[in-house]
Amino acid sequence: MTPIGPTNIELADALDQMAEVLLRRGEPNPYRVQAYLQAAALVRDLDEPVVRLYGEGGIAALRALPGIGVAIGRHIADYIETGRIGLRDRLLRADDPVALLATLPGVSPRLARRFVDDLGIRSFAELERAAHDGRLLGLDGIGPRTVEAIRLQLNSILNRASRRRSRRIRRQVAQLAARPVAEERAPEPAPVATIYSLFPPAAA
């Protein structure tokens, strides 16, 4: 049975794209770029579907692959679960908003270019606003069905991101609450001075 989810080629292409954007933006650490390229080559040539490995063993199974560290393993897991990689989206938004918008299912590079050039849209949040305020319907060749499909895709993506942020915040709050509270120390008594007489007491 073919596992449901992105193929090894799709995952490798996403990692290659991240390496390409990092390189284009002048990433100062060449080893970081090389790590993405090596991970992409490994995933592309792997006989076993990465989706199946992840389904059976989680991130630990991904990290067992040579060259897959914590960060790249998390990126691969995110792509398998959500179809997106947060870092890739941020890099593309800063580097090439057309490429970012074109990652949305149903949005071709040509349509993404129109969104950027005609409406000045550079992010998913901006595209969602345009889908609701009527600007998308104002473009020639964009009908209600296309707009509704874009709305549904964006609602799924942005809601997942919001839920992840909420879970992260709840984890941080829980960690803070679990920290032991230092016991309040009672103030130390003030030192008592002992006064010694310089003269012996007078005889009675």
Q: State the residue range of the domain holding 160.
A: 97-176
Domain assignment present for residue 203? The answer is: no
* Ordered mean pLDDT values, 10 residues apiece, the chain (204 residues): 75 85 77 88 92 90 90 87 73 74 84 89 83 86 88 75 48 52 51 52 49
DSSP string, 80-91: HHHS--HHHHHH
DSSP letter at 180 equals P
pTM over 0.75: no
Q: Taking Cα atoms as reference points, which of 95, 8, 80, 1 lies closest to residue 45?
A: 8
Q: Do 64 and 10 fall into the same domain?
A: yes
Retrieve residue 7's tokens: 């193929």
The predicted structure's pLDDT at residue 180: 55
Q: Collapsing DSSP states into helix, strand and coil, what is residue 53?
A: helix
The domain boundary, picked from 67, 95, 123, lies at 95
- For residue 154, give the CATH number of its domain: 1.10.150.20
The two three-digit tokens of residue 39, written as one number:
């991970």
Domain total in the chain = 2
pLDDT at 21 (0 to 100): 79
> What digits encode the pLDDT tens for the residues 54-83?
988 998 999 999 889 888 898 899 888 877
